[in-house]
């Protein structure tokens, strides 16, 4: 999701990502929020966890074993049964 720099595209992507998932969603990102307009116009960090729809629960966060070269971690979300 780092390369979804336009807010409307990011929002649409997140909606579709969770709407089409049956049970699991895996996101590889930093879950940090950087203001737009940083030094890399094609890259934007976002605090995506606040954009996860209701009905989904973070089951696991797995830190990247290559944290020295990447700021991302793995985030596993599971759809709650109703």
Q: What percent of the chain has pLDDT over 90?
A: 66
Locate the domains of the chain by residue range: 7-79
The angle formed by the CA atoms of residues 27, 66 and 31, to the nearest 5 degrees, is: 35
Neighbours of 50 (CB within 10 A): 8
Neighbours of 22 (CB within 10 A): 6
What is the value of pTM for the model shown? 0.86
Question: How sure is the predictor about 54, in pLDDT bands with cuts at 50, 70 and 90?
Answer: very high
What per-residue confidence (pLDDT) applies to 27? 97
Tell me the mean pLDDT in the region 45-66.
Answer: 95
**Higher-confidence residue: 36 or 64?**
64
List pLDDT tens digits, range 23-39. 999 999 999 987 666 67
């Amino acid at each position: 999701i780092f390369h979804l720099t336009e807010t409307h595209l990011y929002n649409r992507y997140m909606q579709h990502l969770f709407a089409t998932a049956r049970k699991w969603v895996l996101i590889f990102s930093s879950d940090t929020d950087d203001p737009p307009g940083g030094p890399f116009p094609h890259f934007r960090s976002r605090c995506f966890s606040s954009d996860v729809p209701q009905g989904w629960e973070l089951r696991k966060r797995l830190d990247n074993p290559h944290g020295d070269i990447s700021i991302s971690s793995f985030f596993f979300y599971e759809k709650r049964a109703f």
